[in-house]
Amino acid sequence: MKSIVLLGASGSIGVQTIDVVLNHSDEFVIKALSIGYNVKVLKDILTKVHPEIVCVVRKEDAQALSSEYPDIRFVYGDEGLVELAGLDGYDVLVNALVGFAGLLPTMRAIETGHDIALANKETLVVGGSFVMEAAKKHGVSLYPIDSEHSAIFQCLQGNQHHEVKRLIVTASGGSFRNRTRDQLKGVTVQEALSHPNWSMGAKITIDSATMMNKGFEVIEAHWLFGFDFDHIDVVMHPESVVHSMVEFVDTAVVAQLGTPDMRLPIQYALSWPRRLSLPGESLDFTKLSALHFAPASFERFPLLGLAYEVGRRQGNLPAVLNAANEVANQAFRDGRIEFLDIEDLVISTVNEFEFKKEITFEDVLEADAKAREIVEMKIKEKM
What's the min distance (Å) between Cβ of 162 and Mg ion? 26
Site for Mg ion in 249-308 (CB under 5 A): none
Identity (one letter) of the amino acid at 99? G
Select 146 or 247, whichever has its Cβ closest to Mg ion.
146
What's the min distance (Å) between Cβ of 94 and Mg ion? 16
Select 51 or 144, whichever has its Cβ closest to Mg ion.
144
Q: Which stretch binds Mg ion (CB under 5 A): 24-32, 59-67, 141-149, 310-318?
A: 141-149
CA distances from 46 to 20, 98, 205, 211, 304 (A): 16, 22, 28, 36, 40
Select 208 or 349, whichever has its Cβ closest to Mg ion.
208
What's the min distance (Å) between Cβ of 147 and Mg ion? 5
Site for Mg ion in 361-380 (CB under 5 A): none
Q: Which stretch binds Mg ion (CB under 5 A): 143-151, 168-176, 261-269, 334-342?
A: 143-151
Select 49 or 206, whichever has its Cβ closest to Mg ion.
206
Site for Mg ion in 173-192 (CB under 5 A): none
The C-alpha atoms of residue 304 and residue 234 are separated, in whole angstroms, by: 9
Size of the site for Mg ion (CB under 5 A): 3
Select 61 or 148, whichever has its Cβ closest to Mg ion.
148
Select 283 or 377, whichever has its Cβ closest to Mg ion.
283
Select 147 or 154, whichever has its Cβ closest to Mg ion.
147
Using CB atoms within 10 A of its CB, is residue 107 exposed (0-12), middle (13-18) or buried (19+)? buried
122 touching Mg ion, by CB under 5 A: no
The C-alpha atoms of residue 327 and residue 320 are separated, in whole angstroms, by: 11
Q: Which stretch binds Mg ion (CB under 5 A): 20-28, 132-140, 144-152, 322-330?
A: 144-152
Neighbours of 283 (CB within 10 A): 11
What's the min distance (Å) between Cβ of 321 and Mg ion? 17
Select 69 or 229, whichever has its Cβ closest to Mg ion.
229
What's the min distance (Å) between Cβ of 281 and Mg ion? 19
Select 49 or 126, whichever has its Cβ closest to Mg ion.
126
What's the min distance (Å) between Cβ of 244 and Mg ion? 9
What's the min distance (Å) between Cβ of 214 and Mg ion? 8
What's the min distance (Å) between Cβ of 148 and Mg ion? 5
Site for Mg ion in 54-73 (CB under 5 A): none
State which of residues 61, 83, 122, 146 lies at the interface with Mg ion (CB under 5 A).
Answer: 146
What's the min distance (Å) between Cβ of 76 and Mg ion? 30
**In this chain, which residue has its C-beta nearest to Mg ion?**
146
Q: Which stretch binds Mg ion (CB under 5 A): 93-101, 147-155, 333-341, 346-354?
A: 147-155
What's the min distance (Å) between Cβ of 320 and Mg ion? 22
Q: Which stretch binds Mg ion (CB under 5 A): 40-48, 142-150, 281-289, 351-359?
A: 142-150
3-state SS track over the chain = CEEEEEECCCCHHHHHHHHHHHHCCCCEEEEEEECCCCHHHHHHHCCCCCCCEEEECCHHHHHHHHHHCCCCEEEEHHHHHHHHHCCCCCCEEEECCCHHHHHHHHHHHHHCCCEEEECCHHHHHHHHHHHHHHHHHCCCCEEECCHHHHHHHHHHCCCCHHHEEEEEEEECCCCCCCCCCHHHCCCCHHHHCCCCCCCCCHHHHHHHHHCHHHHHHHHHHHHHHCCCHHHEEEEECCCCCEEEEEEECCCCEEEEECCCCCHHHHHHHHHCCCCCCCCCCCCCHHHCCCCCCEECCCCCCHHHHHHHHHHHHCCCHHHHHHHHHHHHHHHHHCCCCCHHHHHHHHHHHHHHCCCCCCCCHHHHHHHHHHHHHHHHHHHHHHC
The C-alpha atoms of residue 256 and residue 153 are separated, in whole angstroms, by: 10
Q: Binding residues for Mg ion, per CB under 5 A?
A: 146-148
